[in-house]
Amino acid sequence: MKKLMTSLFLASALVISSCGGGNKGTDINGNPGGNGKVTPQETPQDLEESFQIGDDWGRKLGNLRVLQNEPNQVIRDHVPAVAKIITYYSKGTGFYLGKHAGKHLLATAAHVLANVPTCKIGLLSPRFYFENIVDGLYCKQYILVDKELDFAIVELDVKKKDEFKFYQMNAFSFTNNLNYFKNYPLAAIGYGEVNNPRKKITYDASEDCRILSPDNRFRSVRREAGDQSRSIPSFATGCDISRGDSGSPVINRETGELLGIVWGTTTPKPVSVKSSAYVARLADENSEDIWKYMSYVIPMVEIREAVKKAVRNGRMNRNRRITLMVLFDIRY
């Protein structure tokens, strides 16, 4: 898979300057004379510090009052199972996977837990806040942290008095034989901080929030973080993602299927990316700009394969191995 540069947004923003693309039949400024294809242009003046993809900022508040008026049952069911994660170093998002092998499990992006080697580390300990359900949980242990693929699974420390609250949640679940077709309608749920001054849970289920990359095609996208870099298999989306959304679940908003975990986006973006018609044209033409200026998600099918390898290589303790086998329905 071809490696391309993108930028990653977590608690502290990592920004790259990159080139933009032009509209069909025009140059990037909308002037006539284009060749009908989207081509890179070295025009830094046409870039702006923005996280928006499409005509409008697609995020909505996900509090209980708003959810009561949300017509999509899939959204109403899944928003309460998404948690804010706060560590001494960063903020991000995670989502509840249910109780498996006697453990309450949550998934997130591994970089959200960067520099926090264990659950119990004093002031550095990560905290998990389910805005509509329960606040301030700690975790018991890290079940798996895969820094290469950038995902993690942790066991939450749920007290007996809070058990019933989790039984009422609609936990996210893994599905085998997933498809990733272009234009699949998506929903991304998280704690992104842009246009969200109170840092509340929000979701994007707008028309622009959909798969933009070709059918069942992933590309290894380069993540740069300080002196570390790695390539992460990804699919491209038009969902509005910003700082704090790392680790967010991305689902098919019609079926509820869990498709992946948010790990990054880019800024600055070309001004033209704020046009839904332009973004649709990029997708129709399979433009390389899809892999430069959109939002990127780790596919669950890649995560499951990575977990299978981790389980079978014999390097983890029996307790964690059994937990992952139950969670992902893995058999030797």
- Going along the chain from its start, the domains and CATH numbers come out as 4-11+39-62+175-301 (2.40.10.10), 81-173+302-328 (2.40.10.10)
- pLDDT tens track of the chain, all 332 residues? 333 333 333 332 323 222 222 233 222 222 233 333 333 333 433 778 889 999 999 999 998 888 989 999 999 999 999 999 999 999 999 999 999 999 999 999 999 999 999 998 888 889 999 997 888 899 999 999 999 999 999 999 999 999 999 998 999 998 888 999 999 999 999 999 999 999 999 999 999 999 999 999 999 998 776 556 778 999 999 999 999 999 999 999 999 999 999 999 988 899 999 999 999 999 999 999 999 999 999 999 999 999 999 998 878 899 999 999 999 998 86
Q: What does 66-112 look like in DSSP terms, one character per residue?
A: HHTT---HHHHHHGGGEEEEE-SS-EEEEEEEEEETTEEEEEE-GGG
- CA–CA separation, 227 vs 229, rounded Å? 7
- For residue 125, give the amino acid letter: S
- CA–CA separation, 257 vs 74, rounded Å? 9
- Kindly report the pTM of this predicted structure: 0.86
